Structure 1
């Protein structure tokens, strides 16, 4: 199962997200759930960088992606948040149709 954790600040802004695991919906290379989650999450990170110039801290490996945002000024932060909220909506859509293979959890950041 793919586990997605979205970490929000007290302000409800997204601070970071982590995605780990494999869907095992189909054989490697034919797994549309893994492909969808990868495309949505990596596409969101690429959009943040391309459209706002913000470079998040990224960690990745086999079946693992972690993205942490730096502190941002309000105008840029609003744009970044909109892009990441779009990612969340897309992931939730995947979860609605393939809930046996992906689980999304929301948490509050412990220390701001």
Structure 2
């Protein structure tokens, strides 16, 4: 199962980081549409943040798959921060949509 943990600020509910662990195991490697969907959403969102905001988030990507960590940079200007938040919230909506249809393979949780 893929587990996603979204960390939000207690002060304003903004997303400060997220972590993904595990494998969907919906189908064989290379045929797993749940894994492909989650990967496309996460990598697309992070690539969009980097390209559209100029931010350099702290990333940790497991070499063998099954792990992805993202952390917002501390010194983010307000305009870039708001753009990144919109992209991150869009990512969460997309992941929740996948979770709704494939709840046996994807779980999303939030912590503050």
- Supply the distance in 1 between the matched residues of 2:39 and 2:82 (Cα, whole angstroms): 24
User: Over residues 56-112 of structure 1, what are the superposed CA-to-partner deviations in whole Å (9 max), with x where a residue is unaligned?
Assistant: 10001121000001121211111000000000000000000000000000000xxxx
* Uncovered stretches (5+) of structure 1, i.e. residues with no partner: none
What's the offset of the Cα at 1:49? 0.4
What's the offset of the Cα at 1:55? 1.2
Aligned partner of residue 38 in structure 1, secondary structure: helix
- Alpha-carbon RMSD across the aligned residues, in angstroms, is 0.6
Matched with 2:58 is 57
The yes-or-no answer on 1:35 pairing with 2:68 is: no
The yes-or-no answer on 1:5 pairing with 2:13 is: no
Matched with 1:69 is 72
- TM-score, normalised by the number of residues in structure 1: 0.94
How many residues are treated as equivalent by the alignment?
108
- Supply the distance in 2 between the matched residues of 1:104 and 1:29 (Cα, whole angstroms): 23
* Uncovered stretches (5+) of structure 2, i.e. residues with no partner: none
Deviation >4 Å, runs of 4+: none
